[in-house]
Amino acid sequence: MMHIGGQVPDLEFDIYYQGAFSKLKFSDLVNKWIILLFYPADFTYVCPTELVEAAEYYEEFQKLNAEIVSISTDTMYVHKAWHDQSPTINKIRYPMAADPTRTICNLFGTYIEEEGLSIRATYIINPEGIVKAYDVHDNSIGRSTEEILRKLQASIFVREHNGEVCPASWKPGKKTLKKGIELVGKI
C-alpha cells in the first residue's frame, strides 16, 4: 500500500478523457501535482456528487499545476457510457481512469476484495511522484473538494517555504508556523 513519503511507480492505465479512450502513465504528469480520487463505481449515488464537485473546482486545481484523475474498477467503456448518459457526469473534464484489473486500487490499498470495488479515497502526490497526503473513508461518506483543495494549497506552501508548516485549518494568506511554534505571516 502507498504511504506518506512513498514513491508512486510509473503505472500505465486506460482512461476516458475529453471524449476519447486513451492511456495515461503517472510519468505523463511529471512536474504536476496529482490528485487521485478513488471511488466505488459509476452509476451510483454519492460518487456523482463528488465527481461533479471536483469538476466545478477543476480550474482552481489547474491553476495550482495539479491534475485530477478519478479512478474506479469500472472499464473506460463504462466511464464513457456514464459520461454520455448523465448530464451531471458530462461536466467532468479531467481524466477518468479505469482499473478493472484492480492494479492501482491494490497498490494504493483501496480495493475491497469482498465487493470488487474501491473504497472512497483521495491521494495528493507531489510533482516528484511522492505521496504527501491521503484520506480514506467509508463509501457512504462523500468527500469535500474544498478540503482537498486546501490540503493541496498547504502541501504547495510547505514545499515552497522551507521550515514553515501549516496549522489546523490553514488557508492561503493565514499565519503559518516555523519549527519552534512561532507564528509567521498575517492573520
DSSP per-residue letters across the chain = ---TTPBPP--EEEEEETTEEEEEEGGGGTTSEEEEEE-S-SS-SHHHHHHHHHHHTHHHHHHTTEEEEEEESS-HHHHHHHHHH-TTGGG--S-EEE-TT-HHHHHHT-EETTTTEEPEEEEEE-TTSBEEEEEEE-TTS---HHHHHHHHHHHHHHHHSTTEE--TT--TTS-EEETTTEEES--
Catalytic (active site) residue 166: no
**Separation between Cα atoms, residue 99 and residue 61, nearest integer Å:** 23
**HSE on the CB side for 180, CA within 13 Å?**
4
Q: CA 32, 125, 106, 57: dihedral to nearest 10 degrees? A: -70
Catalytic residue among 15, 29, 36, 47: 47
Task: List residues with catalytic annotation.
Answer: 47
